[in-house]
């Protein structure tokens, strides 16, 4: 059973603040969309029941024309999203409020990038009036209607949050001064696809193109990215281990040896993984280890970039979930018994093959292995199946382990 320190309860780990002028009607709709996205079930089980805290700053204090101040030190990490429109820029007190947030985040980031301000520009003139040093997200230059732009904003921010938490995790594991070079490294995406389907190659090419057009992500596209002189198999498997993966499930995918190897390697290393379902006719024998991860219907129309955007956004959510889990369990990891392991997704049969081997012990109780995973607890039938295969492996959700639950 793990101990929960008082500081864990007093200080949230990661908080999002959304700032907008009360006269900006679209601002409220955007803030509501962000609230629904980051507090939904997808994040609830990682963050501890309520999702990522999303706090609004649009209502002014009594006898004042600006909201309550924001203190970045109230959480381990925070992101302030400032929606900069004409209403905000025409009020000097609101301009000063946002500039004050910029100064606070800069002051708090002397040793890292734990608290950042993300301005969102709704027109170029408004951005110039505020005159912030931080690079803005340019809503005003994006194509599409407001719903499409809102989805893009959430996706772009999710990617930036991934960068923030990746740097935070590196600081937890190896405390050092802030490292801009490491922060700027792109999130790698591995495009696993079958070359025996024309659809597979075309879809992977379209996803790669879309990735490079948007978030500043980096993609690994098999032979195109293997340096001359290096062994194909070594580079491929090494790249899987350090990437998030999109598995493009076309008709021949499950029948291809290297597609299966890539999936198994991704599962063994617990990398974020999303399956893009692009079955055209049928898959003769679905590969069993492609389950237990999100599956998104992509189809096989390479011109439908809206579906590609959904796949990429869903993968970014998985990457952010992974960093949230690893950051928030960093201290817990130090308290674990020698045969207890934290895994970032619900356990499955392949999880048993990835348990590190330890020394042989004569005490039966000591040889029990515990796998601790994000809530909610596994269903009874799944747990029974794993127990039938490995009766000495105990499964506990994080909440169960903290509470000292036993079977």
Residues 142-201 have pLDDT tens digits of 999 999 999 999 999 999 999 999 999 998 888 877 788 888 888 899 999 998 888 888
Tokens of 32: 């509501």
- In this predicted structure, the answer to whether residue 223 has a pLDDT above a threshold of 70 is no
- Percent of residues, the chain, with pLDDT higher than 70: 92
DSSP-assigned beta bridge partners for residue 341: 371
- In this predicted structure, the answer to whether residue 369 has a pLDDT above a threshold of 50 is yes
pLDDT at 224: 65
Question: Which range has the worst mean pLDDT, 47-51, 53-57, 113-117?
Answer: 47-51
Per-residue pLDDT band at 94 (split at 50, 70, 90): very high
pLDDT, one tens digit per residue, over 239-256 is: 899 999 999 999 999 999
**Do residues 262 and 268 lie in contact, with contact meaning Cβ atoms separated by under 8 Å?**
no
Pairing of strands 273-277, 244-249: parallel
pLDDT at 40: 80
CA–CA separation, 230 and 299 (whole Å): 34
CATH number for region 186-328: 3.40.50.10140
pLDDT, one tens digit per residue, over 280-334 is: 999 988 999 999 999 999 987 877 889 999 999 999 999 999 999 999 899 888 8
Q: 376 preceded by cis ω (within 30°)?
A: yes
pLDDT at 2: 41
**Do residues 157 and 115 lie in contact, with contact meaning Cβ atoms separated by under 8 Å?**
no
Which of residues 46 and 76 earns the better pLDDT score?
A: 76
CA atoms lying within 13 Å on the CB side of residue 283: 18
Q: Is there a common fold for 6-182 and 186-328? A: yes
Pairing of strands 77-84, 115-121: parallel
pLDDT at 362: 41
Q: How many CB atoms lie within 10 A of CB 15?
A: 20
Q: Which residues contact 242 (CB under 8 A, 6 or more apart)?
A: 188, 271
DSSP string for 147-164: HHHHHHHHHHHHHHHHHH
Q: Which residues contact 258 (CB under 8 A, 6 or more apart)?
A: 236
- In this predicted structure, the answer to whether residue 259 has a pLDDT above a threshold of 70 is yes
Determine the 3-state secondary structure of 31 from DSSP: helix
pLDDT at 216: 66
CA–CA separation, 244 and 257 (whole Å): 20
Domain map (residue ranges) of the chain: 6-182, 186-328, 337-403
- In this predicted structure, the answer to whether residue 360 has a pLDDT above a threshold of 80 is no
CA–CA separation, 268 and 352 (whole Å): 10
pLDDT at 299: 87
Across the chain, what does the average pLDDT equal?
88
b/e string for 137-176 if b means 16 or more Cβ within 10 A? bebbeeeeeeeebbbbbbbbbbbbbbbbbbbbbebeeeee
Whether pTM exceeds 0.75: yes
Determine the 3-state secondary structure of 391 from DSSP: coil
**Do residues 244 and 190 lie in contact, with contact meaning Cβ atoms separated by under 8 Å?**
yes
Q: What are the backbone dihedrals phi and psi of residue 137, each rounded to the nearest 5 degrees, phi first? A: -85, 125
CA–CA separation, 190 and 217 (whole Å): 11
Q: Does domain 6-182 have CATH number 1.20.1630?
A: no
pLDDT at 47: 64
If you count them, how many residues does the chain have?
Answer: 407
Q: Which residues contact 285 (CB under 8 A, 6 or more apart)?
A: 254, 255
Please give the average per-residue pLDDT across 360-388, as a whole number.
81
**Do residues 296 and 274 lie in contact, with contact meaning Cβ atoms separated by under 8 Å?**
yes
- In this predicted structure, the answer to whether residue 363 has a pLDDT above a threshold of 60 is no
Please give the average per-residue pLDDT across 64-85, as a whole number.
94
């Amino acid at each position: 059973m793990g101990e929960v320190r008082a500081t864990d309860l007093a200080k949230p780990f990661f908080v999002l603040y959304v700032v907008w002028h009360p006269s900006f009607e679209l601002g409220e709709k955007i803030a509501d969309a962000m609230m629904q996205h980051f507090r939904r079930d997808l994040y609830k089980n990682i963050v501890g029941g309520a999702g990522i805290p999303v706090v609004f700053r649009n209502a002014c204090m009594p006898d004042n024309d600006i909201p309550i101040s924001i203190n970045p030190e109230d959480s381990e990490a925070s992101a302030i999203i400032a929606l900069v429109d004409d209403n905000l820029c025409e009020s000097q007190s609101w301009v000063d409020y946002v500039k004050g947030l910029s100064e606070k985040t800069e002051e708090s980031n002397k040793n890292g990038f734990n608290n950042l301000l993300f301005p969102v520009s709704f027109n170029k003139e408004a951005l110039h009036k505020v005159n912030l040093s931080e690079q803005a997200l340019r809503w005003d230059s994006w194509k599409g209607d407001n719903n499409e732009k809102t989805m893009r904003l959430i996706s772009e921010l999710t990617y930036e949050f991934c960068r923030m938490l990746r740097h935070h995790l590196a600081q937890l594991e190896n405390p050092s001064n802030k490292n801009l070079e490491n922060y700027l490294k792109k999130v790698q995406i591995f495009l696993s696809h079958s070359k025996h389907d024309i659809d597979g190659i075309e879809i992977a090419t379209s996803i790669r193109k879309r990735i490079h057009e948007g978030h500043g992500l980096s993609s690994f596209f098999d032979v195109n990215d293997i340096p001359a002189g290096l062994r194909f198999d070594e580079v491929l498997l090494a790249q899987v281990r350090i990437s998030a993966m999109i598995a493009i499930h076309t008709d021949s995918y499950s029948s291809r040896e290297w597609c299966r190897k890539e999936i198994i390697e991704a599962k063994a290393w617990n990398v974020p993984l999303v399956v893009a379902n692009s079955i055209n006719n049928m898959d003769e024998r679905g590969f069993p280890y492609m389950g237990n991860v999100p599956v998104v219907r992509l189809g096989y129309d390479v011109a439908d970039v809206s579906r590609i955007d959904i796949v990429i956004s869903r993968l970014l959510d998985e990457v952010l979930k992974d960093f949230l889990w690893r950051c928030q369990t960093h201290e817990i990891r130090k308290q674990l018994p020698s045969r207890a392991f934290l895994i970032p997704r619900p356990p499955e049969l392949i999880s048993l093959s990835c348990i590190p081997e330890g020394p042989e012990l004569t005490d039966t109780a000591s040889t029990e292995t515990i796998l601790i995973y994000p809530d909610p607890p596994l269903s009874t039938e799944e747990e029974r199946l794993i127990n039938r295969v490995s009766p000495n492996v105990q499964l506990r959700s994080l909440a169960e382990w903290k509470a000292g639950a036993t079977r």
